[in-house]
Amino acid sequence: MTITELLKELSEHEFKTDVFGYNIEDVNNFIENLANNLYAYDLDSQNQIVYTEKLQNELDILKNENDSLKFEIKKYRELLRELTSEKK
């Protein structure tokens, strides 16, 4: 039985004390626990997405800094070559 079928059955028999041999309170507890677990899983997934985006942003910043430093090193290397070639 799917959850949808179970919910339909529960809504049709809301005053019964059991559904298919299961105590309604147990069924309600199961559904509540399932909903809480799904909600917690969804929150965890959202937190992981946010953390991944944060890490991606930090990586992009580091890549930009790396490119900038490479450019600076190239500039200083060329300047050093010019200075050493002038001395010769």
Q: Per residue in 1-37, pLDDT tens?
A: 666 676 666 666 555 556 667 777 887 888 888 888 8
Extended beta strands in the chain, E state: 18-19, 22-23
In the chain, DSSP finds a helix count (H) and a strand count (E) of 2, 2
Tell me phi and psi for residue 18, to 5 degrees.
-145, 160
CA–CA separation, 5 and 72 (whole Å): 66
CA–CA separation, 20 and 33 (whole Å): 20
pLDDT value of position 41: 85
Q: What is the pTM of this model?
A: 0.52
